[in-house]
Amino acid sequence: MQVRWSQDELAFRDEVRAFLAAELTPSMRRDARRMTSVYAPHELSMAWQAILNARGWAAPAWPVEHGGCGWSAAQRYIFASEFAAADAPSLSPMGIGMCGPVLIGHGTAAQKAHYLPRILTGEHLWCQGYSEPASGSDLASLQMSAVDDGEDLVCSGHKLWTTHANVANWIFCLVRTSHEAIRQQGITFLLIDMTTPGIEVRPILMLSGEHIQNDVFFTDVRVPKANVVGRIGEGWTVAKYLMEFERGGGVSTPGLKARLGRIRAMAAAEADDAGGRLSDDRGFMARLAALSVEIDALEAVELQILASLSAGDAPGAKSSMMKTVGTELSQRLTELALEASGAYGAAYQPHATCPGGPTPNFRPPSDQGYVGPDHSLTAASKYLNDRAGSIYAGTNEIQRNIIAKAVLGL
């Protein structure tokens, strides 16, 4: 697929490139290239968000009146493409990409005025309280309780796999305010200050050794009813709206294309089992070519969704397709990168990479040295980290059920 940009769009592309050249430091680019997670380290993400917010570019998808850019679908795609090509670090998606759109769509005027500016500046860093020990993809079975007590809801329960709860100061939660015959009823969407007494955060270490996810325990946590988004007992509607943005409201193909290009470069540099270049291995290159075709197909759908979002629509059931295809393509890229890295992929050396969080059980060598070429440093950790892609935001099996029901009418 070829996309032809207008002269105005090309001028915008040049503006973005000039901004990146001026503001994106060599160390930021290096760290972004060495990321092993979908999340940048907290300090890097916050530093880059401050730069973007100063330019007014932190939340391109938001309406202008709330700090967004008012860009067309083409501009948003150009913006994402240039960022991927320049190795810009990612921002934490929980605030700008999830909580912000929900507040814009379902929040009160007071909630928008209070929370949205603080999301943009990074004063409020958010995490997501959805999953529970017995409620993952079957989210409607959640049991964290919120008991009515005058002006407050008193919350008790356990959330897990909570990304960035160790650094976040706010969490948006789904809680059960009543038990109804239909499980989706009686659920409430609630904003909770993480400094409230009764909240305890415990780390969960990933296969890659990174501390990004957490257990969060709530014991008699008092939350003002003013922090309810939407109506009490009707949080399922709000949650579904958020999940559409979590699963398919962004732009993923520019990043996938950039990674594909890096794997091509790896193949040109690395030897295969016969001693030749991996780029001469017809089987490996055929798999790489097949991935390229599938990423192009995903890009076409993504552009259609961006156009719909620019017209004020929500992603709808297409978000399930985007999440499923995007995460599975990403996993296949990690498999090829690990194969291209060869024996060097077996070395565990997070001190030479840019993990998404601390690696508490790793002790780096005293000389801080590492083995292998730079392009192989992240291969194994990225492979392990990306195994979660087909699970988070609702498993891909659940997404296929949604597609079957909402799109195919099965």
Please identify every residue annotated as catalytic.
246
Tell me if 342 sits within 8 A of 25, measured CB to CB: no
For the four alpha carbons of 45, 258, 309 and 393, in that order, the dihedral sign comes to negative
Q: Point out which residues pair with 146 in neighbouring strands.
A: 155
- CA dist., res. 364 & res. 368, Å (int): 6
C-alpha Rg value of the chain to the nearest Å: 22
- CA dist., res. 110 & res. 124, Å (int): 16
Contacts of 17 (CB under 8 A, 6+ apart): 82, 86
Q: Point out which residues pair with 128 in neighbouring strands.
A: 172
How many angstroms separate the Cα of 103 from the Cα of each of 24, 94, 167, 204?
30, 12, 22, 29
Task: Mark residue 229 as left, alpha or beta (left: phi above 0; alpha: psi -120 to 50; beta: remaining).
Answer: beta
- CA dist., res. 331 & res. 71, Å (int): 31
Distance between start and end Cα atoms, the chain: 31
Angle formed at CA 386 by CA 383 and CA 388, multiple of 5 degrees = 135
- CA dist., res. 241 & res. 317, Å (int): 11
Count of Cβ atoms closer than 10 Å to residue 279 Cβ:
17
Q: Which two tokens stand for residue 130?
A: 């959805």
Contacts of 89 (CB under 8 A, 6+ apart): 28, 31, 32, 35, 40, 44, 45, 48
Placement of tokens 């409620």 in the chain: 135
Count of Cβ atoms closer than 10 Å to residue 51 Cβ:
17
Q: Which two tokens stand for residue 40?
A: 């940048």
